[in-house]
Structures are given as C-alpha cells and as structure tokens.
Structure 1
Amino acid sequence: MELLEVRHLKKTYTNRFGTNQVQALRDVSFTIEEGEFTAVMGESGSGKTTLLNLLASFDRPTGGEIILNGLSFQNIREKDLASYRRKNLGFVFQDFNLLDTLSVKDNIFLPLVLAGAKPEEMKKRVMPLAKVLRIDDLMEKFPYEISGGQKQRTAIARALITEPRLVLADEPTGALDSRASNELLNMFEQINRAGQTILMVTHSTKAASHAGRVLFIKDGIVYHQIYRGDKSREEMFKSISETLTVMASGGKTYA
C-alpha cells in the first residue's frame, strides 16, 4: 500500500531582496510503500535536507505536492500543521534534541503530553518500547547521565511513542561511535520488520546499506535508486559505494 507520494517537488530559496535565487529541488518524484525502510543520500547541497524539511512539513514547497496517507499537505491549514505532525510523523535527529531538564521517561512522553494523552495511555505505551530499545532501566535518569547511543535510543522511543505513519530520521548515526551506530541501525531494521515505515537521510554508506532502498539526490533531482532485494548487506554496501563514485565523477545513471 502506497503511504507517501512526492510529485514533482520544487523548492527555490530567494534572498530578502529578491536578487538571488537558489533552486534546492528542481523536480523530485518518488513513492514509498507502507513498511518500507528508505535511505536518502547525496552530497552536501544536493537538496536532501531540503527534501526532509518539506516531508516534515517544516517548510512549504515552491511547486509540486506531497501526499501522506491520501492527504495532500496543501490541504492542511498552517494552524493545524503541528497537530498533524504529532499524529502522523516521528522524528529522530542527529543531535538527539532531548531536554536535559526532563528524565528519559518524560522526554519519551513529551509528544503524548503535547497531544493531550491520558497518563494511563502513556504508561501503557512506554514500557514495551523501552524494552525493545533496551532503555527500560534508564527511565529515571537524565540525558546528561547516559551515553550517546542511549540518548539516540531514547529519541527513537520518543519518535515511536505516538505510533506515527512515517518516521523521518536525519543523520541518526552522525553523533555516534561505530558500536552505537551498529546497534542503532540493527534496531531500525528490527523496528522496520515490525511494520514501521522509515525514511532516513544519511551520508553514511554503512547506514544506508541497512535500508531496503536508497534514493540518491543530486542537483535537486532523484539521480538514481537502488533496491536491496536479495542483496546481502555487503553487496548493498558495494552497490551504494559504486553509485556514489559515479556521482562524484560526474557520470550518468538513471533513477
């Protein structure tokens, strides 16, 4: 079942004097099926961060359309966007974005608190997630008392607690060492196998090799894509590396 459809997405930034324009996205189209784990890769300035911000509804496109679960973002009123994000999207950031004044448990609860959920519902949801992510013994600690890997697992729990249709992850392994990165990526795969749809922006070939599909963005368009299919992780890693080499050398391939 198709969950996300991106149609001819364009984004142009203009300075306040209107004298200079930068076209971050020229014409991006793709779909994501429910239950997919998709990675988005590209060099700095390729437009992948702009794409993520548009999918997160943090920004509006200059042209084109984003449709999530049958609803076009164009039809969501500005005042309703925050509520829409809480109900449908989960976010995992490179720098965790946890509040040091709140415990691990309260950081995870935060989206439900903002949504007005009842305490009984919050308690019912949190422990199964905490056990899967192996942070159930950290619930009363504060972010400054735990490791980077534990912080990111807390951020994942916060993203999943609302049972979102789509999780958007922005360089989720960027602030982690190799061991914590491996643990996180294995957990992403586990969460995805349980049915969660994930879209991850990353510079890391290793991180992208855990995904079921990789979209490559270059010069504001979808330059190429790779499906994992029956490839091993090592074969996927090699395919991604070869594509990045072609992109860097200015060679051509096809989406």
Structure 2
Amino acid sequence: MPLLEVKNLKKTYTSRFGMNQVHALTNVNFTVEEGEYVAIMGESGAGKTTLLNVLAALDRPTSGSILLNGQEISTIQDSKLSAFRRRHLGFVFQDFNLLDTFNNQDNIFLPLVLSNEKYRTMKRKLDPLAQELGISDLMKKFPYECSGGQKQRVAIARALITKPELILADEPTGALDSRSTEELLMLFQRINEAGQTILMVTHSVKAASHAKRVLFIKDGTVFHQIYRGDKSREGMYEAISDTLSLLSREDGRHV
C-alpha cells in the first residue's frame, strides 16, 4: 500500500455570494511510496500551493480522497487536525517559520512541547539530530542571529524530531543563496537515503533535479511525471527543463 494516495482530488474556491468559482485543483491523482523523494512543479497558479495545503490538512478538498497510511485525511475532525499534523507530518517552509522570541532549541522542541513530552525525552531526541544536521552549536542562539542556511537546518530539525511519516517542503530553497541551497539539497538527499519520505513543491529546476520523481501540474491536474531511474542529476535537470518548456507553450498537449 502506498504511503500517500491521492484520488480524484478537487478544490474549488467560491466567492462570497457564489457568483464566481476558481477551480484550483480539478482532478489530481498520484501516489507516493514510503521512502520516495518527490518534487512537484508547475507554473504560477497551476495549483501547487493549493495541493500542498490540502495534503497538509491546512485546507479541505472540495471532493476526492487523501489517504496517509490508509487514513483518510479529509474526514479528520477539525479539533483533531493539529494533533494529526504533529504526529504524522513534518513541515519545511521557504521563510522558515521560526519564532524569534524562542532560541533554536526551543523552536525545535515546540511540536514535542505541544504533545506534552518531557524535557529529558526531548533532549534525548534532539542531541543526535542536531549533530547530524551540524547545528549543535546553534541551540542557544536565536533565529535572528543565524544565516538563512542555518535557520533552514533548524527548521528541518523541527520537522524531523517527531519522526514524521511524510515531510512536506514548500519552496525550501527559495530564501537561500546558492551555497546554502546546495548544502540543503544534499542534506535532503541524505535524509531521504536514510528512509525519510519527502514531498517538495518547488520552482527550482536544480532543487527538483535532486528528487527521485517529479510531478508536473498544469491547470489543476497532474500533466506529466519524470522518474529519475538511471539518469544523472544533469540528465534529470535537462528532462525537467524540457518539460517546463512544454508546459509554457500555449498549445501544449498532454504527454
């Protein structure tokens, strides 16, 4: 059974008086296997962010099904959604979403604190993770004292500390310079090779070329996909670039 299964997913936004409708997702179908590293790409307005928000249970689909390890996400009661996200999902955002009034350690601890874990347990989980991510010396610093790359590593630690089934990353390299971007992508690759499943939305061909599979969204539906297979990273980059060129054509046809 796939880790994540998306079937006939639709999301329609209706104006206040029902006069206008925007079909953000029209018929999305795909699966993600445990241990996969999948990137989602498409032009602005294609539905990538809407899809991520629905998968993260931050928004409800209009219709369709989302199964995470066999559990239907869209039917979870609102009162239980926050706890579900903490237990099953990890989030990495473009703008880090760290609290400047908390030091880095407390930012990482936050999902565990909300789950009422004891300090000793939290510290036992954090120490090897911080060492693995190279941020052990940053624990007592505050986010505003850190570089973009350092803040993103802290954010990744916060996402991983709960041992989530799925990491959802929204443009994780968008606020980073080229060096920090490369370091982050290599870090994601190591995390994935260790068994973590990652689903990443990105505009970056470079970021997507690190994934094992790339899904392309056009007009609210999955238009095409590319598997890495035996492609080199350069070959994957070229294949992604060619597909994006096709997507940008006004008369592009399904492939």
Fold conserved between structures, TM > 0.5: yes
Percent identity, aligned pairs only? 67
User: Equivalent residue of 1:137, what SS?
Assistant: helix
- Where does residue 80 of structure 1 map in the other structure? 80
**Does the CA contact (< 8 Å) of 2:149 and 2:181 recur in 1?**
yes
Whether the 8 Å contact between 2:61 and 2:74 is mirrored in structure 1 is no
Q: Any residues of structure 2 matched to 1:44-193 within 5 Å, and which?
A: 44-193=44-193
Distance in 1 between the 2:10 and 2:166 partners? 21
State the alpha-carbon separation in 1 of the partners of residues 229 and 30 from structure 2.
Answer: 18
- Matched AA of 1:92: V
Q: Which deviations, in whole Å up to 9, do the C-alpha atoms of 1:49-100 show, x marking residues without a partner?
A: 0000000000000010100011011331111111000000000000000001
- Superimposed CA distance per residue, residues 223-253 of structure 1 (whole angstroms, 9 cap, x where no aligned partner): 0000001110000000000000011113224
- Aligned partner of 1:30 in structure 2 is 30
Gaps of 5+ in 1: none
- SS of residue matched to 1:200: strand
Aligned amino acid, residue 21 of structure 2: Q
Asked if the contact 2:92/2:155 (under 8 Å) is kept, the reply is: yes
Supply the RMSD in Å over aligned alpha carbons: 0.8
Partner Cα distance (2:103, 2:201) in 1: 28
Partner of 1:126, secondary structure, is: helix
* Equivalent residues, number: 254
C-alpha distance in structure 2 between counterparts of 1:189 and 1:105, whole Å: 24
Deviates more, 1:75-84 or 1:31-40: 75-84
Q: Distance in 2 between matches of 1:222 and 1:230?
A: 23
Q: Write the distance in 2 (CA, Å) between the matches of 1:232 and 1:251.
A: 26
The 3-state SS of whatever aligns with 1:155 is: helix
Indicate conservation of the 8 Å contact 2:57/2:74, yes or no.
no
State the secondary structure of the residue aligned to 1:6.
Answer: strand
Tell me how far 1:128 sits from its aligned partner.
Answer: 1.1
Query: Residue in 1 aligned with 2:252?
Result: 251
